[in-house]
Amino acid sequence: MMLSTYESAVKSAFPELEIQSVQWNKNGQNSDILIINQEIIFRFPRYAQGVAQLRREAELLQAIRPYISLSIPEPKYLKLDSDSVGESFLGYPMLNGEPLWRQTLAAVVDQERVDNIARQLATFLCQLHQLPVDQLSITDMLVDDTQQRWSEMFERMRRKLFPHMRPDARIQVQRHFSAYLENPVNFSYEPLLRHGDFGGSNILFDPAAEEISGIIDFGSTTLGDPACDLAGLLWYGESFVHKMAETYPMSDQFWERIRFCHGTFALQEALFGVENDDEDAFRAGIASYE
């Protein structure tokens, strides 16, 4: 899609919005992003399946807002009546902050500030994971992280990624999945509402206050294994996640699921790249297995 196409779609749907400036961010994996007047984020799904996903996300954000203490997107501009890519989108006021990259957290030298960041993230996950989904007005809530889902994903990896991998890497991945899938205890948890893409790019950090300022991108939120949200935080080191355990209790079995999920992230990125013709995603994900 061209920038002009997206801008025209916004003008057509919301003629009262005076557009003074437009920035185009094409770095998102699933969506193209327009920043209007340096204050409003508009997200346009790149793929057909993303349109339905965006509808669920808008409904979800409205439902969970009263229960979450950190700032999350508040949809103000909704154009979701078309199934065509480029015609459906969501807009919300930009949240304050920058992504919490590993180097960003590493630059925080005051240990009390680091501990507070861990508490903030743990509190957010407690609030999200404990939400009574059956009491919220959310339709079409999917269930993910099941044994069948992981098995099907692994089979797709075998077919589409193994031909690009070193022999020892194939053995390593085979063992990683087999050990997990063959243990029924790993699937004895209660599916809870989880973020689904809980990593540095979606955690906003206020560098002046040195604290978390918001959480974004709930497009992958489903019912599933809450351990997968903690898995995204292992990029900051296990000691940081252990600090979160003071607020969010984690059993040994919970840690096994955290480590398993974390060990699939690069493979999932490579698989996404293959299945969506995204060469950059494929190369980034497969790099350590070639």
Q: Which two tokens stand for residue 49?
A: 């399946």
Q: Which two tokens stand for residue 9?
A: 């779609």
Domain borders along the chain are 16-93, 98-289
Which pLDDT does position 1 carry in this prediction?
64
d(Cα 238, Cα 245) in Å, to the nearest integer?
Answer: 11
| 240 contacts 203 by C-beta, under 8 angstroms | no
According to CATH, the topology of domain 16-93 is Phosphorylase Kinase; domain 1 (3.30.200)
Same fold, 16-93 and 98-289: no
Which pLDDT does position 99 carry in this prediction?
96
Would you give per-residue pLDDT tens digits along the chain (290 residues)? 677 888 888 999 999 999 999 988 766 667 889 999 999 999 998 877 788 888 889 999 999 999 999 999 999 999 988 878 778 899 999 999 999 999 999 999 999 999 999 999 999 999 999 998 888 877 677 889 999 999 999 999 999 999 999 999 999 999 999 999 999 999 999 999 999 999 999 999 999 999 999 999 998 899 999 999 999 999 999 999 999 999 999 999 999 999 999 999 999 999 999 998 989 999 999 999 99
Which pLDDT does position 201 carry in this prediction?
92
Which pLDDT does position 120 carry in this prediction?
98
One-letter amino acid for residue 187 of the chain = F
Q: What is the value of pTM for the model shown? A: 0.91
What count of other Cβ atoms lies within 10 Å of the Cβ of residue 108?
Answer: 17
Which pLDDT does position 134 carry in this prediction?
83
According to CATH, the topology of domain 98-289 is Aminoglycoside 3'-phosphotransferase; Chain: A, domain 2 (3.90.1200)
| 180 contacts 172 by C-beta, under 8 angstroms | no
